[in-house]
Structure 1
Amino acid sequence: MVVDRIEVYLDGASEPLAVLKEPPYRLNLDTRKIPDGEHVLRVVTHFRGGGEEIREIPFTVNNYPDVMVLGLDEGSEVAGTLELRLAVGEPELPVEPVRFNPIWYVVASVIVLGGIWAYFALSPAAETVVAQVAPPAQEAQAPKEGSSQAAAGVDQALMEKGKSIYEAHCAACHQANGQGMPPAFPALAGNPNLKDAQLILDTVKNGRGAMPAVGAAFTEEELKAVATYIRNSFGNSFGPVE
């Protein structure tokens, strides 16, 4: 059946709050203008050629405290301005996807990184990991940010690819200049332990201690690229990864 119009009534009112004639059928219900307490929303759907369908939705208005409730479920308490979506089973009506606020991605990232930092900063077990990966203090250098002193034979295209991967997945903890945030995140700058290419590959791919396996989904080429970049940047010059 084809819908002719939808009339929306509040409680026993004889005049509708709204008459909706075109999809998508929506109205804004400002519950701040409705007395607190029990109410009934009556939705009357009129079909072309005659016939109607009536649905009654009981609900409770409680504007104290001011709690926003989206949608209108049976028996729910609502407050503020509501946007109601009225669907009558017409297949051509589009279904809008739920939009996820991008701010929660930022919040999630902060929580994850904060948890990693807290582990390294507070856990005694982290001292072992730091001791194995961090360079001796006297050997650490402080190169200029972005500096690269790649050894001879290093593929510059691979270096550029590795730099992009490092900036996207590693720089948040180890810093753009490779100085890290000791003791939580060991410095990569001037780190003699990075001479061991397999150590870098295994650490990036499988994680180490509290470090997550950031490279678990990397291709072999991506692993090689980021390892090459780390071994030949920040004052390091250990050559290509074989």
Structure 2
Amino acid sequence: MVVDRIEVYLDGAAEPLAVLKEPPYRLNLDTKKLPDGEHTLRVVTHFRGGGQEIREIPFTVNNYPDILVLGLDEGGEVAGQVELRLAVGEPELPVEPIRFNPLWYVVASVVVLGGIWSYFALSPAAEKIVAEVAPPAQESQAHGATGAQPAANVDPALLEKGKAVYEAHCAACHQANGQGMPPAMPALAGNANLKDAQLILNIVKNGRGAMPPVGAAFSEEEVKAVATYIRNSFGNSFGPVE
């Protein structure tokens, strides 16, 4: 389905806070204008031809100023005299960047990816998405085991461009080998549903169910390239995308 517009409401307001009509769909929310406490953001997606999808996101605002302590890392080892600087942590207050151990970036990445996987794996929508997108296991394995090569009429340059787009935006969920992380992330390897080129183009651009519209900001060439790549990789050989 093609998105017609996205309306964003705050705390049950009758009038939308914003109406987004063109991708990329972005909204700057200034929480300093909101009272501290519980709030709800309601996102209503309208599709062309009718139909809509509603998502409500509760969140808490806390703009009460905190005290920043600069010069001493939590859990850090110190000796001798240490100069500390204290400041009220207003959002506009410039502070010196804090040096992080690179190991923490790795740990944070694992935690975030693990959280994403857990959310989709436990989401009630996951089973429905897998049923609609992923083929039966036996069919998938049989098709993927053929070791099929890309169709002869596929443009190698377009295939290579699609690979770059896939590795940058899709591989984190569907894996570099296209095996996905079932049941949350459907496998692309040997997926018979990839025969429908229009279905794949729509899913890449607009998302589906729990999958976000990762291709909303792609150029038409990038959308075509990544669709061509997944339809002709991982044992698939469904030919070019028209």
Instruction: Say yes or no: TM over 0.5.
Output: yes
Question: How far does the alpha carbon of each residue in 1:9-44 deviate from its partner, in whole angstroms, 9 at most, with x for none?
Answer: xxxxxxxxxxxxxxxxxxxxxxxxxxxxxxxxxxxx
One-letter code of the match for 2:169? Answer: H
Is contact 1:141-1:235 (8 Å) kept?
Answer: no
**1:179 alignment partner in structure 2:** 179
Describe the shift of the 1:133–1:189 C-alpha distance in structure 2 as closer, same or farther (beyond 3 A): same
Change (3 A) 1:240 1:172: same
| Residue 141 (structure 1) shift | 2.8
Unaligned runs of 5+ in 2: 1-67, 86-93
8 Å contact 1:119–1:126 — kept in the other structure?
no
Partner of 1:167: 167
For 1:126-173, what per-residue CA distance to the aligned partner results, in whole angstroms no more than 9, with x for missing partners?
A: 1101100111112113758xx761112110011111111112221222
Match of 1:218, SS state, is: coil
- Kept after mapping to 2: 8 A contact 1:120/1:127: no
| Contact preservation (8 Å) 1:116, 1:210 | no
Q: Distance in 2 between matches of 1:148 and 1:167?
A: 20
Letter in 2 for 1:164: A
Q: 1:158 to 1:187 in 2, by over 3 A?
A: same
SS of alignment partner, residue 137 of structure 2: coil
> 2:188 is matched with which residue?
188
In the TM superposition, residue 121 of structure 1 has moved relative to its aligned partner by 1.8
Alignment correspondent of 2:91 = none
What are structure 1's unaligned runs of at least 5 residues?
1-67, 73-78, 86-94
Cα deviation, residue 110, structure 1: 3.3
Structure 1 counterpart SS, 2:131? helix
* Residues 125 and 210 in structure 2, CA contact (< 8 A), matched pair in contact too: no
Q: Judging changes above 3 Å, is the alpha-carbon distance between structure 1 residues 214 and 106 closer, same or farther for their aligned structure 2 residues?
A: farther
Partner Cα separation in structure 1 for residue 187 and residue 197 of structure 2: 16
- CA–CA separation in structure 1 for the residues paired with 2:105 and 2:210: 21
SS of equivalent residue, structure 1 residue 69: strand
Question: What are the superposed Cα offsets for residues 93-112 of structure 1, whole Å, 9 maximum, x if unpaired?
Answer: xx996366455654554344
Amino acid at match of 1:119: Y
Provide the aligned length of Structure 1 versus Structure 2: 158
Q: In 1, distance between residues paired with 2:132 and 2:178? A: 17
Answer yes or no: is the 8 Å Cα contact 1:119–1:210 preserved in 2: no
Q: CA RMSD in A?
A: 3.1
The residue that corresponds to 2:209 in the other structure is 209
How many percent identity over aligned positions?
Answer: 77
Q: Deviations over 1:204-242 (max 9, x none)?
A: 222222222222221111111110000011111111111
**Partner Cα distance (1:103, 1:198) in 2:** 42
What is residue 237 of structure 2 aligned with on the other side?
A: 237
Q: 1:71 to 1:115 in 2, by over 3 A?
A: closer
Query: Alpha carbons of 1:152 and 1:112: their partners in 2 closer, same or farther (altered >3 Å)?
Result: same
Q: Deviations over 1:186-210 (max 9, x none)?
A: 1111111111112222222222222
2:99 and 2:223 mapped to 1: Cα distance? 32
Q: What is the CA–CA distance in structure 1 between the aligned matches of 2:240 and 2:131, rounded to whole Å?
A: 25
Aligned to 2:97: 98
Q: Is contact 2:178-2:234 (8 Å) kept?
A: yes
Deviates more, 1:156-165 or 1:107-116: 107-116
CA distance in 1, matches of 2:174, 2:119: 15
